[in-house]
Amino acid sequence: MVGAARTEESSVHAKALDTFVIVHATTAFFFALTMLLRPGVFGLFSKQPIIDASLTGDAVRWASPFVFGFSGLAAASLKFGPAERRAVATIFAASFWLATFIGCWVQSNGRWKPVHAANIVLFSSLAVSYSAFLFAFPQSFAARSGRGVRRTYPGSGTY
């Protein structure tokens, strides 16, 4: 009975992880689309306007493929095995922690409106969530929400 309860708990955590990844991939896709098509929207966060046809607008637009890449990697990871999903989650957690710290630093330089803190909250929530799945709920990567992917890796046990 304990094994069945543990499997059910892992399945619940795996479904939560899958749902989180789907939301992350979708949000990142629309964030990147906005960066590409309407970079001036991000002027909402800065004290100086960001014009679509400006150097700053170009920089925002030029960064959009990387956000599209994060979106695609998140979506693709739904089909990965447990070890690969953990690796992707680790990359995302590290990247979002870095974005959080950099966001705090740039917020302190005076060029950003207080509403810029919403971006810091967004990135820190992604960092905290991926970290929580990695460290507090590692079983999330074992069960595959009914997709039946199970692998054995040397030295890492059965997933």
Q: What is the pLDDT of residue 155?
A: 47
Token duo for residue 48: 């100086």
In order, the DSSP letters of 112-148 are B-GGGHHHHHHHHHHHHHHHHHHHT-GGGGTS-TTS-
Which SS3 state, helix, strand or coil, does residue 66 take? helix
Say if residues 103 and 40 touch (Cβ distance below 8 Å): no
Cα dihedral 35, 40, 44, 47, rounded to 10, equals 120
- Say what angle helices 82-107 and 55-77 make with each other, to 10 degrees: 150
pLDDT along the chain (159 residues), means of 10: 58 94 98 98 97 97 98 97 97 98 96 97 98 97 57 46
Q: Report which secondary-structure segment, H or E, holds 158.
A: strand 157-158
